[in-house]
Amino acid sequence: MFKLIVATLLLVSSISVFAEGNPEHGKSISQACAVCHGADGNSPAGSFPSIAGQHPKYLLKQLKDIKSGARAAPLMTGQLEAFSEDDLADLAAYYASQTPKGGAAKPELVALGESIYRSGIKRKSIAACTACHLPQGEGSNLAGFPALAGQWPEYTETQLKAFRVGDRHNDGDGKMMRTTSLDLSDREIAAVASYLYGLH
């Protein structure tokens, strides 16, 4: 009986490690990704997301969604075709192990951005972003909520606007991001995106 318990624990342990991905292998297959996302996942331009330090669960979901077409990402068309699900898990593990850089918020947008992020907008029934993305923008790997701190404001704005009009819809059956962004104005989106860029 003892041997059976030990064997079961070893099997569960190995499955858990396997499910987390292999960052070394992820690094070895990430060369094409570096063009847009940077060698360490810190993107050189705001039109591409920085993915350094992002949660592996969230990254893996996005990679799978892009590969399957559940998330439209025209610039990544065909980029993931040759990768297996294990490869995608390894890429996610590699980028999750990297250190994000971030930047600085625009001073004139800090007050509005912080207010929306921390308190939401009561008159519009918009919940605080901290409810899912946590006080420091660190998100939650367990829940699958992405880290947002230090993300390029241009990228964050683009994604919020895509959710707002329904062009991006891979936020689950609850439509959490589509609902949240629906009543955000362009200025409110710009403010919260700028605030997140400086949050690190």
Crossing angle for the helix pair 186-197 and 107-119, to the nearest 10 degrees? 100
Summarised one tens digit per residue, pLDDT across range 84-139 is 999 999 999 999 999 999 999 999 999 999 999 999 999 999 999 999 999 999 99
**Number of Cβ atoms within 10 Å of the Cβ of 126:** 18
Enumerate residues 6+ apart whose C-beta is below 8 A from 66: 73, 76, 80
Bridge partner residues of 140 (DSSP):
145
Residue 101 resides in a domain: no
117 with 73, same domain: the answer is no
158 with 192, same domain: the answer is yes
Quick one: how far is CA 153 from the chain centroid?
13
The token pair that represents 127 in the structure block: 């919940």
Closest to 70 measured CA to CA, from 159, 161, 167: 167
CATH number of the CATH domain containing 92: 1.10.760.10
pTM metric for this prediction: 0.88
Domain count, the chain: 2
Q: Which domain holds residue 168?
A: 107-197
Residue 59 resides in a domain: yes
